[in-house]
Structure 1
């Protein structure tokens, strides 16, 4: 389900959140929007469903309209580790895989019911030729997301489990309310039992 066909007809209104977001950073002519929309897809993703599986090549960039996604890996014991959460108005892919067409070393999956706009790489390359400003804009925003992910993760380094959980509630409260305890525990690097104990004692 990694590939997604463009949506035709009145349903193109589903793509408006992407353009509302992009226009915060650059004016985009309506005529360009209509051309770009024809190359996009849309997906409703159930909790736990993959947008990209580790070991496959990332051929799509996703814009999150509603919901939360997780970027995860598996450790040597086969236990799932959540590295990042991303939410509305963020672009997500596994950038190295997307740029170099190599197998991804991480997976992307929905942490709750999620709606995403799909920007296929093959379509983006064609659009970049026609609208050079779009390439500059998309690359700028993907780099911003990358920096955001790193800054958030660095905030938890060196803290004990209780402090990590308290910082999570402060820094990412909108995510804490929407994803499972299992996902939060995986993100904070603790067991679900430990997280339940911390929640009782906090």
Structure 2
């Protein structure tokens, strides 16, 4: 799986072979079953994840006991709780596997050590994470400005790789709509796809 990370990083910058080996050696491969938590919240998040296969969600428990899905992340994305990771502050958010997930993991301590040996890597990874976070925020804010039915339509157009792999309740939580509405809209999408001979 480390090859997947190297291939991803090389989309942004060519990496010498020696550096590739150094990076690969510092990331540990882990598998998490569906529903398990990579980070349970209310403590400092001290790990950075790279998703090789599967979908993660970042969620927060609201006062009334409901869960709010903040972000959905899929393959070839980094995942951490940035404020907690950078400033060593306890985070209320949690990170959960929405299906069986394979990730590469590095601790903050080991990442800092890696950055000391490869200073350019910090600039590269920071830029990738910041760009991804900005895009995620822009997309989610755009959804919330739309009427509920249009949110789901845009969601499946923007993120089809995630839309049909995520449980209905989590999609509803992410889009800020009721599960009943998502269920109805999904049925409409399935019917339209069936009429056009498309299989999901």
TM-score (norm 2): 0.89
Q: Deviations over 1:44-99 (max 9, x none)?
A: 11121111122121111111111111111111111111111111111110000000
Please, which of 44, 48, 52 is the counterpart of residue 65 of structure 1? 52
TM-score (norm 1): 0.88
Deviation at 1:105, TM superposition (A): 2.4
Supply the distance in 2 between the matched residues of 1:92 and 1:142 (Cα, whole angstroms). 8
Q: Does the 8 Å contact 2:144/2:176 carry over to 1?
A: no
Q: Does the 8 Å contact 2:144/2:175 carry over to 1?
A: no
Structure 1 residues 193 and 37: alpha-carbon distance in aligned structure 2, compared to 1, 3 A threshold: same
Matching of residue 131 in structure 1 with residue 112 in structure 2: no
Query: Which residue pairs with 1:7 in the alignment?
Result: none
Matching of residue 186 in structure 1 with residue 186 in structure 2: no
Deviation at 1:201, TM superposition (A): 5.2
Supply the distance in 2 between the matched residues of 1:36 and 1:171 (Cα, whole angstroms). 31
Please, which of 22, 35, 48 is the counterpart of residue 35 of structure 1? 22
The CA RMSD measured in Å over matched residues stands at 1.4
Mapping 1:43-192, distance limit 5 Å: 43-192=30-179
Deviation at 1:123, TM superposition (A): 0.5
Q: Does the 8 Å contact 1:53/1:104 carry over to 2?
A: no
Supply the distance in 2 between the matched residues of 1:201 and 1:128 (Cα, whole angstroms). 49
Q: Does the 8 Å contact 1:71/1:85 carry over to 2?
A: yes
Deviation at 1:160, TM superposition (A): 2.0
2:26 partner SS? coil
Query: Which residue pairs with 2:196 in the alignment?
Result: none
Deviation at 1:106, TM superposition (A): 1.2
Deviation at 1:36, TM superposition (A): 2.2
Q: What runs of 5+ residues in structure 2 fail to find an aligned partner?
A: 190-200
Q: What runs of 5+ residues in structure 1 fail to find an aligned partner?
A: 1-13
